Amino acid sequence: MSTGPRDLAGVVPRNDVAMDDCVVDCAVYVGGERTVGHLSHQAALEEVRRRGTGFCWVGLYEPNDRQMESIATTFGLHELAVEDVVHAHQRPKLERYDDLVFLVLRTVQYLEHGRLTGVSRIVDTGEIMVLVGSDFVITVRHGEHTGLAGVRHMLEDMTERLALGPMAVLHAVADHVVDTYVDVAQRVEQDIDAMEQTVFTPNRKIEIEPIYQLKHEILEFRRSVNPLAAPLQILVSPAGDVPKEIRRYLRDVADHHTHVADEIAVFDDAMSAMIGASLAKVATQQNSDLRKISAIVALAAVPTMFAGVYGMNFEHMPELSWTVGYPLLLTLVATVCVGLFVVFRVKRWL
């Protein structure tokens, strides 16, 4: 009976149908070079352990419980890590399960939009999880954006870096995610500049809802970025088990992350200032409108008062028998109204 073609040193490729829709890529790397062949995750790990060198990298996209059960059985993953991988919606964190390092990163994507409104979406978030063992690394992605194919191809062109082991993949993923933070921060800054131009332009009416929506999106951005600071500090600590060369690269990632976190703090302060300024501007606009309404009411009250007096059905009233009484009354009403109008114009109520 035929055993099928052999891709690597006697290892028969396996076709696990249950994994087909979640495994994005799976490969074995030895000395920084990708070995020939396409293996299942079981066969890849067996090949690495048969060689006694290198590691395998399995990329997953939104695996379900059954698929992760197969992965967990093969790689000996802790059940708590498996639960976090399947259900997602985690804050950035770093956990250790014996020899397994589990890093969760929140991804952020800038959403293109036209005019900013009270319901405009500016950032979309997702998750990337990295599970690192002594001879394997598993990356799990949740969300449509921030794919890792480009990261894998980049690393495959940097054999010296990839030869440093699974932690090199962790660094590359973290670096990629933080680089997207930098790009999103630059785009959000442009939105804030445009909003500031609107808020602080004299004699321009503003809407408060878009400002609150922009503030909400920045808070979402901050919740995705800031918690990653603690895991990065742990990874760059000399007390950890991260190789020295990888720690050097991770320090650069931590520096970029700190820069983005500082920018977000500035964004938050700017939005708080804009909200205060816009509320003050709205209050000023309302006071101006109220003064105009009051002035118009005062002008209308003069003829209304005279009409109310002389509209009463009394027989004996002053000036009723005057020939010039009616023109005189109209002249008096007009004079008083014009006088009030001039006063209101001088005071800029009208």
> Which pLDDT does position 318 carry in this prediction?
64
3-state secondary structure of 213: helix
Of the ranges 36-50, 99-113, 189-203, which is most confident?
99-113
**pLDDT tens for each residue of 266-284:** 999 999 988 888 888 777 7
Q: Give the closest residue to 100 by CA, choosing from 122, 130, 120.
A: 130
> Which pLDDT does position 10 carry in this prediction?
38
Cα separation, 342 vs 191, in Å, equals 44
* Residue in this structure with the two tokens 């994005």, named with its chain if needed: 24
* Integer-rounded Cα radius of gyration of the chain: 35
> Which pLDDT does position 1 carry in this prediction?
34
Cα separation, 244 vs 246, in Å, equals 5
Q: What is the band of 320 on the pLDDT scale with cuts at 50, 70, 90? A: low
Q: What is the band of 3 on the pLDDT scale with cuts at 50, 70, 90? A: very low
> Which pLDDT does position 2 carry in this prediction?
34
**pLDDT tens for each residue of 10-61:** 333 444 445 667 889 999 999 999 987 778 899 999 999 999 999 999 999 9
CB-based contacts of 184: which residues, under 8 Å, 6+ apart? 108, 109, 110, 123, 221
Percent of the chain with pLDDT over 90: 52
Q: Give the closest residue to 264 by CA, choosing from 195, 175, 181, 180.
A: 181
Q: How many CA atoms lie within 13 A of 287 on its CB side?
A: 7
Residue 34's beta-bridge partner residues? 29
- One-letter identity of residue 165: G
> Which pLDDT does position 313 carry in this prediction?
66
> Which pLDDT does position 109 carry in this prediction?
94
Does position 316 have pLDDT exceeding 70, yes or no? no
3-state secondary structure of 169: helix
Q: Which domains are present in the chain?
A: 17-282 (3.30.460.20), 291-346 (1.20.58.340)
Cα separation, 310 vs 96, in Å, equals 92
Q: Give the closest residue to 191 by CA, choosing from 256, 106, 262, 270.
A: 270
Arithmetic mean of pLDDT, 72-82: 92
> Which pLDDT does position 183 carry in this prediction?
95
Geometric angle at alpha carbon 100, from 49 and 231, rounded to 5°: 140
Q: At what angle do helices 166-199 and 229-236 cross, to 10 degrees?
A: 140
User: Strands (DSSP E) along the chain, which ranges?
Assistant: 23-30, 33-34, 55-61, 93-97, 100-110, 123-132, 136-142
Q: Give the closest residue to 138 by CA, choosing from 27, 49, 54.
A: 27
**pLDDT tens for each residue of 206-255:** 788 888 899 999 999 999 999 999 999 999 988 777 888 999 999 999 99
Residue 200's beta-bridge partner residues? none
> Which pLDDT does position 165 carry in this prediction?
92
> Which pLDDT does position 5 carry in this prediction?
34
Does position 294 have pLDDT exceeding 90, yes or no? no
Lowest mean pLDDT among 21-30, 151-160, 165-174, 205-214: 205-214
Higher pLDDT, 310 or 178: 178
Q: Give the closest residue to 137 by CA, choosing from 235, 50, 63, 71.
A: 71
3-state secondary structure of 8: strand
- Average of per-residue pLDDT values in the chain: 85
Does position 329 have pLDDT exceeding 80, yes or no? no
> Which pLDDT does position 305 carry in this prediction?
79
